[in-house]
Amino acid sequence: MPERWFFESLYPDIKLGLKVNNILYQKQSRFQNIKIMETPRFGTVLVLDGAIQTTTGDEFIYHEMITHIPLFSHPNPQNVLIIGGGDGGVLREVLRHKTVEKVTLVEIDKQVIEYSQKYLRSITKDSFSSSRLELVIGDGAEFVKGKKAIYDVAIVDSPDPIGPAKVLFQKKFYTAIYNILKSDGIMVRQSGSTFLQKEELKENYRLLSRIFPYTAVYTASIPTYIGGLFSFIFSSKKIAPSKLNIKNIRTRYQKAKIKTKYYNPEVHSACFQLPNYVKKFVQGR
């Protein structure tokens, strides 16, 4: 049997190749092409429209960093909004916080949830059956329109600005997120590779820093999101990450009794420290 390979099509001039043992699912949904495959190196991989979304091998890095940074930065996160996140990884991590009373997850494509639950069980676990979950199948940009002061934290776990996700990178979406957050609310979003998606990071940092009083970039290295340091944007109405009190973070982390494989209070503090090349194109310094 000839070797089978998957080559990611996110960039025109650079591709991550993964050897494939088995294709578990591949179909065009109403919104995107969904592909789920088994690989020897990274376990089971979810691909949407040719872009790697998550793998059972390294998902813990992304899902812990996009969730625990905002939730341990906030003094008492009770009501959390997730936009996207159909693979269930962010939902699983949010539900580990006992302070969280309710999570609203807004996912446009219910087939991503359905097939993630079937083939990515180590990521979803039983999160989608949590009594604290309000599941909304719909466009996140529509959902946030016209709502005020409901959530403590909003996590935008969207793909890159392709297809249905494009609307989740626009000023009016970010303004609506600002309004839907409470007065000490925090929003985080994935903002791509600091090396291969500089313009996307720069543009979204610019948009968010004009809407929120505090906006900062933090990073993590995620093997299957190629292009070196991967970035997240943290925007907040009141909580300045630069004024981070690591003692508070440590106390909250210990009290939460959440076992993590990547996140810890020291990483929380360090991840906001940026290399000069990132500082330069993000903050113009």
Catalytic residues: 157
Q: Does 83 interact with ligand SAM (rule: CB under 6 A)?
A: yes
Q: Does 159 interact with ligand SAM (rule: CB under 6 A)?
A: yes
Phi-psi region of 88 (alpha: psi -120 to 50; beta: other; left: phi over 0): left
CB of 129 to ligand SAM, least distance (A): 18
CB of 222 to ligand SAM, least distance (A): 9
Q: Does 18 interact with ligand SAM (rule: CB under 6 A)?
A: no
CB of 248 to ligand SAM, least distance (A): 28
CB of 238 to ligand SAM, least distance (A): 26
Looking at the Cβ atoms of 88 and 265, the one nearer to ligand SAM is: 88
Q: Does 139 interact with ligand SAM (rule: CB under 6 A)?
A: yes
Looking at the Cβ atoms of 199 and 266, the one nearer to ligand SAM is: 199
What own/partner pairs with CB < 8 Å and gap ≥ 24 does 127-133 have? Answer: 127/88, 127/91, 127/92, 127/95, 128/88, 128/91, 130/91, 130/95, 130/103, 132/95, 132/100, 132/101, 132/102, 132/103, 133/91, 133/95, 133/102, 133/103, 133/104, 133/105
Give the separation between CA 219 and CA 272, rounded to whole angstroms. 7
Contact 16, 45 (CB under 8 A): no
Q: Does 141 interact with ligand SAM (rule: CB under 6 A)?
A: yes
Looking at the Cβ atoms of 85 and 227, the one nearer to ligand SAM is: 85
Q: Does 49 interact with ligand SAM (rule: CB under 6 A)?
A: no
Looking at the Cβ atoms of 110 and 182, the one nearer to ligand SAM is: 110
Q: Does 106 interact with ligand SAM (rule: CB under 6 A)?
A: yes
Q: Does 258 interact with ligand SAM (rule: CB under 6 A)?
A: no
Looking at the Cβ atoms of 62 and 178, the one nearer to ligand SAM is: 62
Residue among 70, 140, 241, 265 that touches ligand SAM (CB under 6 A): 140
Q: Does 86 interact with ligand SAM (rule: CB under 6 A)?
A: yes
Nearest to 168 by CA among 190, 148, 146: 190
Give the separation between CA 51 and CA 54, rounded to whole angstroms. 9
Q: Does 164 interact with ligand SAM (rule: CB under 6 A)?
A: yes
**β pairing state of 181-193 and 151-157:** parallel
Contact 219, 278 (CB under 8 A): yes
Total residues contacting ligand SAM by CB under 6 A comes to: 26
Nearest to 234 by CA among 284, 194, 271: 271
Looking at the Cβ atoms of 58 and 139, the one nearer to ligand SAM is: 139
- CA dist 245 → 105, 115, 120, 250 (Å): 29, 40, 36, 9
Which residue reads 């991967």 in tokens? Answer: 230
Residues near ligand SAM (CB under 6 A) are 48, 53-54, 62, 83-87, 106-109, 112, 139-141, 157-160, 164-165, 167-168, 190
